[in-house]
Structure 1
Amino acid sequence: MKGFFIGLSKLTLGVAIALILLSMAGVATARYFMGRLSVLPPKPLYGDEMPTESEAAPEATPEGAPEAAPEPTPAVEPPPEPALEPGTYEAVVVQPIGLVMREGPGVEFPQVGGVDVNEAVVVLEEPADQDWVKVQVVSNGQEGWVKAGNTRRAE
């Protein structure tokens, strides 16, 4: 009987130690992954955001050598804005999900493109019924009809 209690106590102690080790391993694993996930990846760069060679690795000048003056960059003038025709005005898309442009004023017409939120458009035509408006996207010149009330006159 004494051997039975000793064996039972060894079994209980072994199971308890195993559970403690497993829980500690689980906590360590969880802390490792939480630490890895808390570090944000570097911001991706697209198109114009890519650093040039001169920005990426500045050249070291030897001591005592005079530093060369930076070359002046020519001022880039923005293209002149075209004058709007009478009856047209500039607007901004205010629909949070953007707009679908169609070939004509109605859902029965096929889609020709889309306009993102806060994108500049020129309202070309507002029919009397005020259900649809004809717009031209400023960035690419695409024209189409969008549901009225989803644009706001630009200041």
Structure 2
Amino acid sequence: MADAIARDAYIKLVGQEVGVSSWHVVDQKRIDAFAEVTEDHQFIHVDPVRAAKETPFGTTIAHGFLSLSLMSAFAYEVLPSIEGTAMSVNYGFDKLRFVSPVRAGARVRGRFTLTDATLRGPKELLSRTNVTVEIEGESKPALVADWLGLIISA
């Protein structure tokens, strides 16, 4: 995780790219584990032989929600924390689009731009971060999202 900064310093980052995570492999083992947890066993995710024959992808692809879920790991790597934070809460999304499939074996990373940080009271800061989940070697991203987070001071 990035170093902690003062709340005012965080607010001044609005409009700036605040971090790019390392690459993470989305292999079949990870896809299968996600399928187990979510009970989504559609063949395009879990059957490499059938996916190669019956889909335009040539292999299995990650669940869109798996690609989305990895954003938390990416964020922990690069987003600055705010000094005095008691907790941060996922507040949802204002925009989320799954743009391109993530093929099994691909590497993905998150690119974060802070687009807004609004005080909602003395202890609450609502942040909006534009996130692009990039696929290594691909021109189109896996997804783009406007991610909301509520940062609560102690």
Structure 1 or 2: more strand by fraction: 2
Normalising by structure 2, we get a TM-score of: 0.21
Relative contact order higher in (CA < 8 Å, ≥ 6 apart): 2
Q: TM-score, normalised by structure 1?
A: 0.21
Considering only CA atoms, is the larger Rg found in Structure 1 or Structure 2? 1
